[in-house]
Amino acid sequence: MTRRRSDSKAIRPRQEGLNQLKAKGAKMELSITQPDDWHLHLRDGDLLEVVISHKQQCVFGFRESILKALLANSDFISLMTLHLTDTTTREEIKLARDSGVVYAVKLYPAGATTDSKDGVADLFGKCLPVLEEMVKHNMPLLVHGEVTDPEVDIFDRERVFIDTVLRALIQKFPQLKVVMEHVTTVDAVRFVESCSEGFVAATITPQHLVLNRNSLFQGGLQPHNYCLPVLKRETHRQAIVSAVTSGSKSFLLGTDSAPHERQKKGMFLWMCWYIYAMPLSPYHSMPGF
């Protein structure tokens, strides 16, 4: 029932109070509530140990491996997700909800990102009964919102997904709770803002708040700034910054942090698709805020 991979888990650290971020050299002080991280990729083995040491309140991956890797006296709540495929059944949704461990279902379009070859290829056909069951059990759908059509420009795949898939999904299931993960465009911001609060939300990563697509090429190709969804124009970055500073409850932190070995991340012929964003997250520091 649970996914065999240790990534893309919704993690909620249990910590109250405020963290204060002070801008040096400016007469301003910004106080924010300690955020939850709703999208985090963990690893197993040595990489898992590194991730846990950076994110001291977080947990999950292979459940037992994460629990063993936690620092002493860690206080946390770990929210697991189920990987949606064309063969997922209604019964699996019922079992997930009754487990007390699985709280949401992840939708990866087949081929959209790492290890997504078994993702969804027939959302409005084979997955229809599962979506109906999710509405019945009030289980959120967490969406990687990009089309995989090779004819669609990589910078347009989020917008096209909204226009061709997400709008239709919301119209068909208006009571389905949907979170569009790691949004990167003004199109996604406007779409979320147009939906009923409490039913459609979005997560935003630190890297998409502080980088635009120029960061991929300045001083040569920069593989450590490469991720999916790919970085967008500066106008899109400004739109998501405005979203997270608007006070709207529809925009959440989801770091999408995913560690890779440095030599693999930088290989020209095999650039990994993720950014290890944990050191940039609000748990540490946020340059630009």
From the list 144, 232, 236, 265, the catalytic residue is: 144
208 catalytic residue (yes or no): no
From the list 9, 55, 83, 106, the catalytic residue is: 106
| Nearest alpha-carbon partner for 133 in 93, 82, 173 | 93
| C-alpha distance from residue 59 to each of 43, 124, 187 (Å) | 11, 33, 32
236 catalytic residue (yes or no): no
41 catalytic residue (yes or no): yes
Half-sphere exposure of 238 (CA within 13 A, CB side): 3
From the list 9, 41, 83, 208, the catalytic residue is: 41
Task: Report how far residue 184's alpha carbon sits from residue 212's, in angstroms, rounded to the nearest whole number.
Answer: 10
Helix or strand holding residue 83 (H, E): strand 76-83
From the list 7, 37, 187, 256, the catalytic residue is: 256
256 catalytic residue (yes or no): yes
From the list 9, 39, 55, 83, the catalytic residue is: 39
Residues 81, 104: contact at Cβ < 8 Å? yes
Task: Report how far residue 1's alpha carbon sits from residue 11's, in angstroms, rounded to the nearest whole number.
Answer: 19
Q: Is the backbone peptide bond immediately before 229 cis, with ω within 30 degrees of 0?
A: yes
144 catalytic residue (yes or no): yes
From the list 9, 55, 182, 236, the catalytic residue is: 182
Enzyme catalytic residues: 39, 41, 106, 144, 182, 256
